[in-house]
Amino acid sequence: MNSVSFFLKDVSLSLKQRVFVFGFCLIVYFCNQAVSGDSIDYNRDIRPVLSRNCFSCHGPDEGTRKAGLRLDIREGVIAERKGAPVVVPGKRNESELYARLLIADKDELMPPPDSGHELTAEEIELIGKWIDGGVAYDRHWAFVPPVRPEIPDVKDRDWVKNAIDYFILSGLEKTGHYPNKMADRHTIIRRLSLDLTGLPPSPTEVEAFLKDKSSNAYESLVDDLLSRPSYGERWARVWLDLARFADSSGYGSDPLRVIWKYRDWVIDAFNKNMPYDQFTVDQLAGDLLTKPSRDQLLATAFHRNTKTNTEGGTDDEEFRTEAVRDRVDTTMQVWMGLTMGCAKCHTHKYDPITQKEYYQFYSFFNQSQDADRGDDSPRLPYPTKEQSKKIDSISKEIKSLESKLNVHTPELANGQQNWELKSLRDLAKPKPKKSVWETVGPFKADSFDAAFSYSFEPESLAIGLNVAPQGAARQSSTAYDGFAKLAIDGNTSGVYADNSVTHTQNPDDKSPWWEVVLLKPTDVSQVVLWNRAEASERLSAFRILGLDSKRKVLFQEDFFPENKGNPKSGEGFSIPFKAKRDVSIVRLELLPVKGRNEPILSLAEVQVFSRTADSRETNIEWLTKSQWNDAEVHDLKLGSNETVYLRRKLVAQIEGSQKISLGSGDGIKVWLNGREILAKKLKRDAKPDQETVTVSLDKGENEILIKIVNQDDKSGFYFNLKGADFPEDILPILLVAESDRTSLQRKKIEAHYRTFAKELDPLRKQIELKKKDEKKLRDSIVTTPYMQELPKNKRRKTHLLVKGNFLSKGEQVQAGFPEAFHKPKKGVPLNRLGVAKWLLQEDNPLTARVAVNRFWAQFFGRGLLDSEEDFGTQGNIPDHPELLDWLAVEFQEKGWDMKRLIKTIVMSATYSQSAKVHGELAESDFRNVRLGRGPRFRLEAEMVRDQALALSGLKSKKMYGPSVYPPQPPNLWQAAFNGQRNWATSKGEDRYRRASYTFLRRTVPYPSMATFDAPSREICAVRRIRTNTPLQSFVTLNDEAYVEFAQAMAYRIYNEGGVTAEDRIKYALRLTLAKPPEENRLKALMELYESELVYYLKEADAAKNLYGQIAPLPKGADISEMAAFTVLANVLLNLDAVLMKG
């Protein structure tokens, strides 16, 4: 029987089935005894059972709902239906739903046996009692705004320190249990220091706390730790998991990204105790605030941590869409603890979120300017205070110099007079004669980039034939079968794996070059370089030369990314050869640049074009545009990614220069007599005078060819021949005799002349140099991707995407919020700022709960709601719901103060308990759900490293700045990438900085931290699931960094620990455990030290290899002693008591 007919027929039970039911009832009798003492609570007892077993087929999603039955709302359960009623309130035995849970026939049993779901006898009895009780439904607990509960009364009020303790103790007393004793002072200072700063306390700090006998000693310690800069570094880590912060863009090639300024902003925000509501607004919508500060703009990088796909052949819109969806999913997961991403392809199967509502919410995030670009634009410049100071100083110098341009001198007056005479003569010169315009096209391409770079037939005819394939190629060296001839074989794919690129040898070849010897001396019009599809930085700085047959230089030009650009993967990079004939050799040389790790020259293709070699015939039909007038914008009516070519002849009576004014929508290329004179790939509407070029016309006939490439929207074209170059208001003055000019006319023409007067060249040179200094300084400013809204006239239309496919657009939707939750207040804007305000409304049931639960989990190892990532119907039920609501309301009402919340938690007796297991709770509550003891669990990945750094004495105090590269196993990036493949291990103090500053590449995260469960941050990580594996021991025992920590710690133990070995080992135990040494540990470590010392006294080379030379030998120490202490330090760093917070 199929599931559709299942609920539509009247089912009567056979005798066999009745016997089965009777037997089953005997089983559930005992379950009935277990639940009969408690009233049935829908949210606690029933919803989890239905959600887990039934809602996927009988829940909110209409698209997959079976038999038209909906069980997530009461109306769906009690609705009138044909045949037997599904549920008869108050009568389980007349309810079809209950019968189907008991029936023996597998074809009619619910849930179906092949569904993978099965209800226990206790769950079935709960359903029965629920039906008998009238089928009461309650709104999901998390969707009801929290109300401050009354603080419960307790018997043992002396144990209580604050409100938290009343809730915890009340629960313990109800079950006949009692809390644990308070942890000793040694334990509590270590626990507190690790929790608040991520670092262990120093021996000095421990001693000071032990000596402080004042009543507020503990509170003073809390306040001190909260005020330290290390507090922000520790808590930023938690947020950076949520923000999916990483130093790379993700996906296959995973290129590096500069976004560390955002990480620094988060650290700073925690240290400044920024209120959580402001923290929220700034990150989601800082750019939409009135006059946002630079910090508020920087904060929006929260949603620029999304991945970007720079691989060739990908569709930018697909991955822009994916980034927007990630922003939707992350926003709802971080602030409301909901799995909204489940609704991107269909209505959510468990929570009340429709697919349409998903895309209405998506619309808020669909209007930002970023669009999966390789450069991560838009980017925010963020100068340091020193850079800002220097820029201001240079700007003042420039203004001072510019003011001197207005000083009157006899030389200027004489120069102006000569210029005016020459200008009048130039006005008399005849302009070139123009033929009418001719056009051909449109030509269609798959993308704007392809249309711009591809040489369609009119273009290839204009620039000539590629003569490189007939030549002979050679290069300085060859590696990986990357022969020189591969660059002239006509294959421009540039994929290394296809053996289509050249490759020089590294590291032997220090000055790589490649050249092609042409078949004969040639009039070269241009050279087009095609870079390889990956590792495009191999051609990031180069020189191109044109040589004659005797290798005399006819043409030379250097290219650097910062000035003339860099050949991008999969695009032709055109280099015009300016009037250079008789070229026999075209040569490329890689230039030495600072920071280049691998001097390798690798090319996909080199094309050398010559017009004189072209003798092809063509059938191109040009259309005459006799109606076109110059100095007007003409609509070309092109579609997306379409190209049109325009040509005309200019007949000059004399040889000379001519200015041409152009405009285009969008990309434009211009050739004169086959040589490229302009190429700009941009997006804009055509307007007059967008580009001005000065060309050299030969006497007689000259041919100009223009290529216009349209990306989308309107396409257009503008052309005008400029005469003598005068502004409109200057020409009439020039024609007036000097003696007849008014005072205003004299001032205008004088000001115009000063803009180019040779007499002022020295002064302008000074200004130019200062401006270059200013530009260089501005270019050195770190820029960070940030959110910026599109202007109103560019806003995107948002559609429901059928099955989540970006190409399958359904109905258009408008921005809006899910209806199942609270309504936005009046006046809330329908943009990201409105989202932030909606999330922070006092009637939002989730934002405060989710936040306090996340903070709680950091201290106790699990949240008050264990499923931190899911507050929806598939999530768990809170262990202490009243406490969760009290904390949520307290957090909101006390100004969203994060430090205040943290202090409230750590000042509780609940937090201060000993973690030692005691009494009956050891078995009945081994997960410590009732919180009858203090927290004890393994440190997170970053704390494991930071603790070892601190104990070793190596930890740098340096804060902020670019991410660093501490030691990691070699060649990980070499194996994984074709782009940036070198992990350049940091030197100096950067080698020893806290884990928060470690460079994180998404596809190959720092391995030792990944082993300790740190996420790759490709997506938002709400909760780290702790694991315990042998690999973790291998890290802390054998990893290069941890061995180095042990070496430094040995030095510290020897220097600071006293005179005898026993004294030093006692010090080592106090250092690592923050408590006095226990006799059994001291004895074991003494034996270890002595046995290792005996070994290393015999094996001097082994001692030298182990201890290393990161520091000189302490005075009076022997290398064998230091090796033995290194082993001892290594063991201490691996103690369970050191790696755990207890």
- Tens digits of residue pLDDT in 632-658: 999 988 988 899 999 999 888 777 778
Give the CA count within 13 Å in the CB-facing half-sphere of 254.
21
Q: Residue holding tokens 């630079």?
A: 294
Q: At 435, is the secondary structure helix, strand, or coil?
A: coil
Which domains, and CATH codes, for the chain? 3-138 (no CATH), 386-426+734-779 (no CATH), 432-444+620-722 (2.60.120.260), 468-605 (2.60.120.260), 1040-1141 (no CATH)
Taking alpha carbons only, the member of 517, 569, 575 closest to residue 539 is 569
How many Cβ atoms from other residues are within 10 Å of residue 1041's Cβ?
22
- d(Cα 232, Cα 280) in Å, to the nearest integer? 17
Nearest to 131 by CA among 45, 24, 66, 21: 45
Q: Report d(CA 47, CA 874) in Å as an integer.
A: 9
Q: Which residue has the higher pLDDT, 750 or 906?
A: 906
* Residue 300 confidence (pLDDT) above 50: yes
pLDDT at 511: 84
Q: What is the pLDDT of residue 19?
A: 38
Q: What are the C-alpha distances in Å from 867 to residues 501, 576, 876, 1028?
A: 51, 62, 6, 20
pLDDT higher than 50, residue 5: no
pLDDT at 1106: 92
Query: Nearest to residue 832, comparing CAs of 331, 355, 380, 372?
Result: 331
pLDDT of residue 1067: 98
Contact call for residues 500 and 485 (beta carbons, < 8 A)? no
The rounded distance, in Å, linking the Cα atoms of 1068 and 1070 is 6
Interval 317-336 mean pLDDT: 97
pLDDT tens column, 388-422: 999 999 999 999 998 888 888 888 888 888 887 87
- The predicted pLDDT at position 736 comes to 85
Q: What is the pLDDT of residue 319?
A: 95
Residues 683, 709: contact at Cβ < 8 Å? no
Does the structure show a pLDDT above 80 at 145?
Answer: yes
Higher-pLDDT residue of 410 and 839 is 839
Mean pLDDT of 767-777: 93
Q: Is the pLDDT of residue 1019 over 70?
A: yes
Confidence of residue 327 (pLDDT cuts 50, 70, 90): very high
Q: Is the pLDDT of residue 1049 over 50?
A: yes
The HSE-up count of residue 423 (CA atoms within 13 Å, CB side) is 20
Task: Note the pLDDT tens digit of each residue in 806-822.
Answer: 999 999 999 999 999 99
pLDDT at 479 over 90: no
Q: What is the mean pLDDT of the chain?
A: 88
Looking at residue 56, its pLDDT comes to 82
Write the CB contacts of 671 (distance below 8 Å, at least 6 apart in sequence).
459, 462, 463, 677, 704, 705, 706
Write out pLDDT tens, residues 486-542: 988 877 777 777 778 888 887 777 788 999 999 888 888 788 888 887 776 777 788
Average pLDDT over residues 625-632: 89
Provide the residue count of the chain. Answer: 1142
Closest residue by Cα to residue 600 from 523, 532, 681, 510: 510
Tokens for 318? Answer: 């697909």
Q: What is the pLDDT of residue 281?
A: 98
More confident residue, 930 or 494: 930
pTM of the model: 0.73
Cα 649–651–654 angle (5° rounding)?
A: 150
Provide the pLDDT confidence category of residue 177 given band limits of 50, 70 and 90: very high
For residue 288, what pLDDT band results from cuts at 50, 70 and 90?
very high
Residue 33 has a pLDDT of: 41
Asked if the model's pLDDT at residue 1131 lies above 60, the reply is yes
For residues 20 and 398, the model is more confident at 398
Task: Return d(Cα 1102, Cα 1110) in angstroms, integer.
Answer: 16
Stronger pLDDT, 13 or 602, i.e. the higher one: 602
What residue has token string 């309130």?
A: 89
Q: What one-character DSSP code corresponds to residue 595?
A: T
- Contact assessment for residue 1118 and residue 1109, using Cβ atoms and an 8 Å cutoff: no
The pLDDT of residue 617 is 56
Which are the contacts of 150, defined by CB distance < 8 A and separation ≥ 6?
none
pLDDT recorded at residue 229: 98
Q: Does the pLDDT of residue 785 top 60, yes or no?
A: yes
630 or 696, greater pLDDT = 630
62 or 1090: which carries more pLDDT confidence?
1090
Q: What percent of the chain has pLDDT over 70?
A: 93
- 1103-1120 pLDDT, tens digit each: 999 997 666 789 889 999
Q: What percent of the chain is modeled with pLDDT above 90?
A: 56
Q: Residue 593: what are its φ and ψ, rounded to 5°?
A: -135, 150
The single-letter code of the amino acid at 486 is L
Average pLDDT over residues 973-994: 83
pLDDT band at 575 (very low <50, low <70, confident <90, very high): confident
Predicted confidence (pLDDT) at residue 312 exceeds the cutoff of 90: no
- Who has greater pLDDT, 612 or 996? 996
Q: Which two tokens stand for residue 611?
A: 């017009």
Listed residue (356, 306, 301) closest to 329, CA to CA: 306
pLDDT, position 245 = 98
State the pLDDT confidence band at 368, using cuts at 50, 70 and 90: very high
